[in-house]
Structure 1
Amino acid sequence: MADLKTITDTVHGTIRLDPLTLDLLETLELQRLNSIRQLGLTYLVFPGANHSRVEHCLGVGHVAGEMARALGLPDDERKLVQAAGLLHDVGHGPFSHTLEHVLSRELAVDHMHLTQRIITGHDDNVSPEDRRAFPDVKRIHEVLEAHGVNPAAVADLIRGPSERGAGLLVPGGRKELKRYLAQIIHSPMDADQIDYLMRDAHYTGASHGTIDFSRLLQTLRTHRGELALDRKGLPALEGMLVARGLMYSSVYFHKTVRIAEEMLARAVERSDAPIADIQKMVDHELLNWLVHQGPLQREIALRLKYRKLYKRVLASDRDDLTDATRAVLASFKDPDERRRVEDRIARRAGVKPGQVIVDVPLPE
């Protein structure tokens, strides 16, 4: 216990940091997340939502470790899931999920796969200039290996359990079915959801994200290699699932948040810069960069800076749409088709291209 340091977290209280966590926190990949907001542009609607993605990562690592302890897992498995929880979001680009659909489409890889590649040392989202400024700072895979943790095993957990039940790479390099380890990171009651619901509710002031985490821990079990709950824990799990639905409807999919997010997405989509360069940026770098791009990018960056957002003109409930309308909206999965429709509406409305947004949220 003497080699553990502690920090005070706004959500979980005292968090103990073991040597591996401390060394991982020194990496540029994790420190970069200090400059990326957990909830992207949500702060324009909920002013308290300024917490960073690294806070969430610390929380997930802590929750994963507590779940491992509650299950009585050996130290090597606890260390593995803690590392996976801490590192699960290192592949995020600026403004977190706001630009994920744009970046993943253009790069043909989503943030989760990029995270796996970063952890194993096959990719990097720290700019070469920043790397050269700190040549002696180890990368994530080097830190993990120095602590006897297999980077591929951590990346495997972040990928999640296979639907076919394929084995996970576990300490020692053997392939073995350890689905409960991956389910601590990815499942209906995983460490990621537990932390982001509690943390986002705290910082937004929403009362919906209340979770009885202590009850979940008390009733956590493994059953036939799967993560499970004792029957007494079902009310706590049901409460968590309800909280998740309410947070999506009232916070994550708030109409003004969606407007701000889609404005930023259009500015990036309509820029001529290589998307790979944008992926390596953090929040303030992206906004500063947009100001110096084309007129549309500059306008949107300034509108976001001063909260002069576009207004909603027309909204329809998905359940009220005709089959013909659904078919048209389905075609907007093709960004080029959606852009053609947006520009056609803009011409008819007498405004500039890019100033009309058609947003068709995917079912969560």
Structure 2
Amino acid sequence: MIQLYPWETAILDSPLMQRLRGVRQLGMAYYVYPGAGHDRLEHSLGVVEAADRMIRALVRNAGHRRRFGSDVDEMIPVPDDLDDDIVSTRLAALLHDVGHGPFSHATEFLLRDRYSEDFRKIEAVLRQEFEGVSRIAPSEIIAVLIVLSDAMREVLVHPNFGASNRPEGLAPAIAARILGSRSYLKATYLSGIVSGPLDADKLDYMARDSHHSGLPLGLDLDRLISKLEVVTVTPENAPNPELRKRAENAPKRRFYDIGISLTGLGAYEQMIVGRVILYDRVYYHHKVRSAEAMIRRLIALAEQENGRPLPSLNSSMIVPTIV
């Protein structure tokens, strides 16, 4: 069961989200694996559910640590169910794939190559405005531009939307969660829930893609999620110079991030091995790659016959407005 709040249902019912019913999660993979015809909409709902389970596990385990742990840290923030951190994270999980176009990743390369300079400028702005952002995929950039657009802001700040007591900050907070940024977040350990090394996106697409492809991976997601912990990082225990520097500059010389308890390492290793198998057997299958190349070639031929390229990006979308 996937439970949604009223504002999430309003977003789900919009043409923006319903369009994803026609975008296959695995692009052309269904030509090789006929069962792999699932779409981006069901995946987006699954990411909301996985994100909710991850958040609840982190909050529960953080509370247990504060109450029963030997290294009690009273500073660990434990957000309520309707805290802005959780609201923005769930909305980001729902909206994280709205930037995908037809044939999913198969056409993403075309956009990146065709408008490389535009994407480079946008990425530079996003890296400057959102702390802790690493590589940004073209579909994520488009999703963020949609979230930060004037039309989406009108929805998010509307009195009837009712998602937050500070609606003016909701759009940049959602964008930050899609990018995996620590900006616009009190409980910084939630930054990697939607986009990070171990995120709800991976947890859902790995289970969903393996199921529909008929490729069993033996993932134990219940155990993996239940073993997620809030880790306190200080200059003394930081595993590398980058994290040590961040801890030194943080308030009270500490920050919080997602970690896994030692008893959950087996489930995490299963996930890593399963991801390698999926890339080898499904995502990078030679026939799937061939079908994707044929799609890109067909688009090029259609442009040649029509005598014009794909529509250009609107220049007014290049630099998003961030409050």
| Equivalent residue for 2:183, pick from 141, 156, 168 | 168
Greater mean alpha carbon deviation, residues 33-42 or residues 180-189: 180-189
Instruction: Give the 3 Å change call, closer, same or farther, for CA 204–106 of structure 1 in structure 2.
Output: same
Q: 1:144 — aligned with what?
A: 156
Q: Which runs of 5+ in 1 are unaligned?
A: 1-13, 123-138, 162-166, 171-175, 280-364
Counterpart-to-counterpart distance in 2, 1:276 and 1:159: 26
Instruction: Give the 3 Å change call, closer, same or farther, for CA 92–184 of structure 1 in structure 2.
Output: same
| TM-score w.r.t. length of structure 1 | 0.62
Counterpart-to-counterpart distance in 2, 1:19 and 1:152: 20
Whether 1:275 aligns to 2:275 is no
Q: What are the equivalent positions in structure 2 for 1:82-161 lying under 5 Å apart?
A: 82-108=90-116, 109=119, 110-121=138-149, 140-145=152-157, 146=161, 147-148=163-164, 149=167, 150-161=170-181
| Equivalent residue for 1:239, pick from 252, 260, 270 | 270
Give the drift of 1:269: 3.4
Number of aligned positions between the proteins: 238
- Match of 1:207, SS state, is coil
Q: What are the equivalent positions in structure 2 for 1:4-153 lying under 5 Å apart?
A: 14-72=1-59, 73-75=79-81, 76=83, 77-108=85-116, 109=119, 110-121=138-149, 140-145=152-157, 146=161, 147-148=163-164, 149=167, 150-153=170-173
Instruction: Give the 3 Å change call, closer, same or farther, for CA 181–275 of structure 1 in structure 2.
Output: farther
- Match of 1:37, SS state, is coil
Whether 1:196 aligns to 2:201 is no
Whether 1:215 aligns to 2:215 is no
Instruction: Give the 3 Å change call, closer, same or farther, for CA 121–206 of structure 1 in structure 2.
Output: same
Give the drift of 1:274: 3.2
Q: Which has the higher contact order (CA 8 A, sep 6+)?
A: 2
Counterpart-to-counterpart distance in 2, 1:30 and 1:100: 18
Q: 1:356 — aligned with what?
A: none
- Match of 2:197, SS state, is coil
The percentage of counterpart residues that share the same residue type is 37
- Match of 1:32, SS state, is helix
Give the drift of 1:51: 0.6
Counterpart-to-counterpart distance in 1, 2:93 and 2:153: 15
| Equivalent residue for 2:281, pick from 246, 250, 262 | 250
Counterpart-to-counterpart distance in 2, 1:121 and 1:265: 29
| TM-score w.r.t. length of structure 2 | 0.69
Q: 1:263 — aligned with what?
A: 294
Task: Output the amino acid matched with 2:33.
Answer: F
Instruction: Give the 3 Å change call, closer, same or farther, for CA 266–190 of structure 1 in structure 2.
Output: same
Counterpart-to-counterpart distance in 1, 2:47 and 2:223: 17
Alpha-carbon contact 1:179-1:227 (below 8 Å) kept: no
Counterpart-to-counterpart distance in 2, 1:143 and 1:81: 17
RMSD: 2.0
Task: Output the amino acid matched with 2:179.
Answer: R
Deviations 1:67-120 (A, max 9, x none): 111122422222221111111010101011111111122133311111001011
Give the drift of 1:267: 2.1
Counterpart-to-counterpart distance in 1, 2:96 and 2:15: 15
Deviations 1:270-291 (A, max 9, x none): 4244323799xxxxxxxxxxxx
Counterpart-to-counterpart distance in 1, 2:282 and 2:56: 32
Q: Which runs of 5+ in 2 are unaligned?
A: 60-78, 120-137, 233-255, 315-323
